[in-house]
Amino acid sequence: MPRLSSENFSCPPPGRARSATKIFIGAYLLCQLTLPLVYYFRDDKSDERFAWRMFSAVYFEQKNCGVSLAVWRPGAAMRVLSKEEVEATIPSGWTEFLTRDYAPVRTKFLRRYCETHPEFAEVQLIRVCKATAAGTRSTMNRTGLICRTGKLIRTHESL
Amino acid sequence: MSRRRRQGKKPPRKPSTSPDSITSSSPWERFWFGPVAAVRPYLLMKAVLLVLAFDVWLVRVPKGWKVGVDGFNVAHFQWLDALQPLPAPGLYVGVQLLVGIVSLVCAFIEAALWLRILLALLHTYSWAMSLLDNYQHHYFLSLVLGAFIFFPRIRGNDLYPAKTDQPANREERTNAASGRANISSWAYVLLGATTSIVYFFTALNKLEPSWRAELIIGKLVRDQNLLGSVESWFSDLGVVREQFWQWMALSVFTVEVFLGASYLLALRQDGERRLWRSVLGGLAFVTALVFHGIVNEFFLALRIGWFSYYMVALAGIYLLPASMLWQVGKMVTWPYRRVASHAHSLLASLNTAPKLSMTLTVAGSLAMIILSGAVGLALDLPGASNVGFLTAFALLSILLFALARREHRDAVRYIVAAGLANLILCLALTQSTVRFDYYDAVGTHLRERKNLRAAADAAEKARRYLPSYLR
């Protein structure tokens, strides 16, 4: 019967094996430190994955946001969809990600909308966030997709 | 090919360095390769794998109906989106069921490297396939399972040898006599360091102005109607409201920094036994228990899955003194060791009748394989039948391979463990509200989408699967 002798330690013997293990440990730690740090240096603060920011300020601010959808037919005026229409349009479970302004979800959703609604020339996702504290202002982000060219237009304004 | 290999025997493992010899190395090497009480990695694997199995079955499966529904999905990584087809509830639920089964098998037996790698990959894919599964601790668990790949393979009987088994050499005799074997496990240390990093970054987040200005902590606590009386009590003492909430935010920051530092310090506690380390470890464990187990889970009801349970288990194993864990380990491994000992005696007696032994092995294995397939079919969840077939096929392959090699003992361990895991899966899902919750949510979604006939079918299934004790 195998026992706890020197044969089943997971300590590599000195030499190449140990050096390789040390290099692996160093690289792994570097990744674990850099991955969350990257978040603090990038512009897009909406995506907090892998940054260990549980219950962050961003998360709570995003809870005060809502999304709506506007569409254009060629040669016609913009039409903002009703709340019911928006609920029926956004796939189940994904509203949260659109209100949190996740770029990959936003882009994929708009592209899919253009594909499934070829009658529209442009579709725009409008995200409004209410002010959360005194001295701050409500904000509005618009992300539009021109269906024909696939060009994304993004604007941000304080209300 | 060597003669030993031709004879089908494994070559002896190259002896590696004992943790005691590491003491002469550099501080960096002493930190990563120094002694760790063998019971720590052993208990950690068992605890996490057991909790994980029930976590994926009871908590994640009911949410699987959303994945890929309405023909839309975004994976956690763009390259994965490019590689995978549109995931469906069947894929998500199936992978979760499989993760639970493999997790239990790894918990029951001293699992081989390939199975640990499979578990880490399966679990990572289980959340990475869709952003809808976006709990940060699922990513953390992937790191934990990744570390498990490099954990030493330890059996309960290695830690607590039966009195009748006389240790072969001096080192083993010393270990058995003291009952306190130390090993070297850099992966265990690395996981502790990773946990520490997680705490430090979580604390960093609490330094932001919104946290200090009571916006977040105040919201978290007020939503649960907590601390109102404490706030007014402090107010009577002349502490202004803002000051009170700043203290609260600071206390969260302090706890997280303290826990992060404690993990780092505790990693050396088996190499350098000091009273202050044991006291600090005990204090840190109580802090973790209160912070995760009581405040987060019960007072604030943060609804973060089973994250708190994992963190309490991790804290207990990393922070408590080894002497305490040896006792805990002795108690929790006792049933397993008894069963293993009986099985060992039974196999030994059967060895005297090889034909009977082989017949019984094959018959028992086939029964377990059929059971695994039947459980998948009986569960009536998307993907479950595929998992049943897949498990049965994998087990049958293992059996046939073992029979061809005329070495079936290892295969039997896997087959019995998988059969047992499937039995537990069946009990967990039929005796809980998992299937009810799943079909109830499907029904609600279909009603919202005006698909009334399908909604009625789902509602009927939900009614059928409501456990009898809730009717």
- Taking the Cβ of residue B149 and every Cβ of chain A, the question of whether any pair is shorter than 8 Å is answered with no
Residue whose C-alpha is closest to residue B262's, from B309, B321, B308, B307: B321
Euclidean distance between CA atoms A153 and B6, whole angstroms: 68
Do the Cβ atoms of B197 and A109 come within 8 Å?
no
The answer to whether the Cβ–Cβ distance between B28 and A22 falls below 8 Å is yes
- Alpha carbon of residue B349 to chain centroid: 36
- Partners of A2 on chain B (C-beta within 8 Å) are 155, 158
Q: Would the CB atoms of B445 and A92 count as touching at under 8 Å? A: yes
Burial B55-75 (b: 16+ CB within 10 A, else e): bbbbebbbbbbbbbbbebbbb
CA distance B350 to A150: 72
The structural domains of chain B, with segments of one domain joined by +, span 39-180+320-432, 187-319, 435-470
Is residue B445 less than 8 Å (CB to CB) from chain A? yes
Q: Are strands B35-37 and A151-158 parallel, antiparallel or unpaired?
A: unpaired
Report yes or no: B31 at the A interface, CB cutoff 8 Å. Answer: no
Residue B174 or A130, more confident: A130
* CA torsion through residues B276, B325, B44, B299, sign: negative
pLDDT digits (tens, 9 = 90+) for B58-101: 999 999 999 999 899 999 999 999 999 999 999 999 999 999 99
Measured from the Cβ of residue B185, the count of other Cβ atoms closer than 10 Å reads: 29
Which segments within B55-109 are labelled E, that is strand?
Answer: none
Residue of B nearest to A105 (CA): B74
Q: Using the Cα atoms of residue B392, residue B397, residue B402 and residue B403 in order, give the sign of their dihedral.
A: positive
CA distance B447 to B453: 9
Q: Domain-by-domain residue ranges, chain A?
A: 12-41, 57-158
- Model-level pTM? 0.89
A120, A111 in Cβ contact below 8 A?
A: no
CA angle B361, B108, B148 (to 5 degrees): 130
> Could you give the ipTM of this predicted complex?
0.89
Contact A12 B16 (CB under 8 A): yes
**Chain A nearest C-alpha distance from B17 (Å):** 5
CA distance B58 to chain A (A): 20
pLDDT at B302 over 70: no
Using the Cβ of B215 and the Cβ atoms of chain A, whether some distance falls under 8 Å is answered with yes
Going by pLDDT thresholds of 50, 70 and 90, the confidence category of residue B298 is low
Contacts of B368 by beta carbon, 8 Å cutoff, 6+ apart: B395, B415, B416, B418, B419
Subunit contact B158:A4, Cβ cutoff 8 A: yes
To the nearest 10 degrees (0 to 180), the angle between helices B186-205 and B136-148 is 160
Chain A CB contacts of B194 under 8 Å are 32
Helix residue ranges, H only, B296-408: 307-319, 322-350, 354-378, 384-405
Separation CA A59–CA B168 (nearest Å): 59
Per cent of chain B over pLDDT 90 is: 56
CB contact under 8 A, B202 and A94: no
- Provide the shortest C-alpha distance from residue B158 to chain A (in Å): 5
Which residues in chain A have Cβ-Cβ distances shorter than 8 Å to B150? 10
pLDDT-derived band at B15 (thresholds 50, 70, 90) equals: very low
| Separation CA A147–CA A49 (nearest Å) | 30
Q: Give the DSSP H or E segment for A71.
A: strand A65-72
Compute the radius of gyration of chain B from its Cα atoms.
25
Residue A7 tokens read as 């044969």
Distance of CA A132 to the CA centre of its chain: 21
Query: Is-contact B395 B369, C-beta < 8 A?
Result: yes
Question: For chain B, what's the residue count?
Answer: 471
From chain B residues 284-303, the ones with a CB under 8 A of any chain A CB are 302
Q: What is the pLDDT at residue B469? A: 79
Interface A-B: count of C-beta contacts within 8 A: 169
Supply angle C-alpha B206, B263, B191, rounded to 5. 100
3-state secondary structure at position A68: strand
Q: What is the spatial distance between Cα B211 and Cα B217, in angstroms, rounded to a whole number?
A: 6
Q: Residue A8 and residue B158: Cβ atoms within 8 Å?
A: yes
The answer to whether B57 and B429 have CB atoms below 8 angstroms apart is yes
Q: Find all residues with CB under 8 Å of B279, minimum gap 6, and list them.
A: none
**Facing A4 at nearest CB: one of B29, B183, B211:** B183
Is the model's pLDDT at B175 over the cut of 90?
Answer: no
Tell me which chain B residue has its CA closest to the CA of residue A96.
Answer: B132
pLDDT digits (tens, 9 = 90+) for B106-151: 999 988 999 999 999 999 999 999 999 989 999 999 999 999 999 9
Query: Within an 8 Å CB–CB cutoff, is residue B345 touching chain A?
Result: no
